[in-house]
Amino acid sequence: MSRTPRWHDPQIKGHKARKRGQEVVDDILDVTKSSKELWKTSGKDLVADKVTYPKLIGIEKSRAFAEELNKEAQDQPSGFDPEKAAPLIDLANYIAYREN
């Protein structure tokens, strides 16, 4: 019998940190990279007057928050087999350090 995942399960918490990290990094890239670098139109959030992390807390604090989320995402699978957790850690790093 499988159990229903709970919000406090490490797998769920790690997923939430990765997802939030993706949002923060995407917001940062939207204001710091050109459309050519992103391979998509940059500045769309600014034009649409969307609420973004850089708009709320600034670029540097957004970068620090992305780092914090990356660390949280990497820490979550610490109780799992390191070989099985490695792809999750790689994914967290990819999200945190992507350039486009």
The structure's pTM equals 0.77
Rounded Cα distance between 85 and 99, Å, is 24
pLDDT score of 40: 85
- Half-sphere exposure for 60 (CA within 13 Å, toward CB): 0
Half-sphere exposure of 49 (CA within 13 A, CB side): 0
Q: Is residue 33 part of a domain?
A: yes
pLDDT tens figures, 36-55: 888 888 888 888 999 999 99
Distance between CA 59 and CA 29 in Å, rounded? Answer: 10
Containing structural domain, residue 24: 10-97
- 74 within a domain of the structure (yes/no): yes
Number of domains the chain contains: 1
In a domain, 54, yes or no: yes
Residue 75 belongs to a domain: yes
Rounded to whole angstroms, the Cα distance separating 63 from 96 reads 9
**Does residue 3 lie within any of the structural domains?**
no
